[in-house]
Amino acid sequence: MSTRPMRHAVVFGGAGFIGSNVAHRLLRGGQRVLLFDSLARPGVERNLKWLKEQHGDRLRVQIGDVRDATLVRRAIRGAGQVFHFAAQVAVTTSLQDPVRDFEVNGRGTLNVLEAIRTEEVKPSLVFTSTNKVYGGLEDVALERRAARYQPVEAPLRAYGIGEWRRLDFESPYGCSKGCADQYVLDYARTFGVPAVVFRMSCIYGPRQFGTEDQGWVAHFLLRALKGGPITLYGDGHQVRDVLFVEDLVNAFVLAQAGMERLSGRVFNMGGGPARSISLLELLDRISLLSGRRPEVRFESWRRGDQRYYVSDTRQFEQATGWRARVGVEEGLSRLLQWLRQADVPSRDPTAVREAAAEATAG
């Protein structure tokens, strides 16, 4: 009988948007959790404080960086499950500092894999990759309809981009995440590390502190609430499929539960065609929800920005029975409500230091 359910879970990047939602679900279910985070992303110290208030001593915290192999090894020792979300997450940042981007995404992931490989009982790993491993998708023929792009080919319109799509790493971010993606799959194949890779589309929901470079759904809502302008890069007709974080956490839980069957596989994960939306369409919905339409400015297209990306999630659905449950209207309403209550502030270095001290005290 497996001993993994009795062992603690490690959530790398656990104070981040996705990580804090996963940690909360695990803790609420009675599992012991070690949260590992550098607190580098603005706002995540608030997520850490919230988790400590909700769960107290059941949550252990390690303030650290995945580039520190010793700390990573120490965190994983004796773990039953690992969720690896710690990453440099923006294409723009990777263009400014490609070396740091690789060290965090590439070397950091290798540190996690090596720590797992050397454990006598290897914990199971859920790793989040990105749709950027498919490149700009310039060869996908598109047509413009109303306020969105859509594929000319009917199967792509109906189902989205599947795992069959060839890899085409573009931008340093695409390269570093693609490198990590492939290392995880190969460690499953070569060393028997139980692991699943999710190539993610756009995730949104509570505890997300969106910026222009990452977390664009929350960013648009925040700008609407604060009355600030929004910059669209390109023409605004580009389409993504959005997935509410609650549905994503359900997918992760199913992946861990089915790890013996799923290990070594990669799945595209997002809201699928039913939850696809263009930037302009999102602005329309935000206007209806908030009663305020932000001022919109347009700039040139950014490198590697896909005009159309929608996930084909059928492989994961067939393997686990998972389905996305939260519709776009409901999800946006729930995120808007959370943002209004959260009153998201600017980055406060003092708050970061205080959160780290409180979380690790005792």
- Tokens for 43, please give them: 């706002």
CB 219 within 8 A of CB 226: no
- Tokens for 326, please give them: 């939260």
- Tokens for 41, please give them: 């992303």
Dist CA 10 CA 80 (whole Å): 8
Residue of 173, 187, 204, 308 marked active site: 173
CB 234 within 8 A of CB 307: yes
Q: CA 296: distance to chain centroid?
A: 26
Dist CA 47 CA 207 (whole Å): 7
Is 173 noted as a catalytic residue in this protein? Answer: yes
What is the amino acid identity at position 54? Q
Angle at 262 between CA 258 and CA 264, to 5 degrees: 145
The backbone torsions φ and ψ at residue 251, rounded to the nearest 5 degrees and listed phi first, read: -65, -40
CB 355 within 8 A of CB 45: yes
Among the listed residues 324, 231, 232, the one whose alpha carbon sits nearest the alpha carbon of residue 269: 324
Q: List the catalytic residues.
A: 173
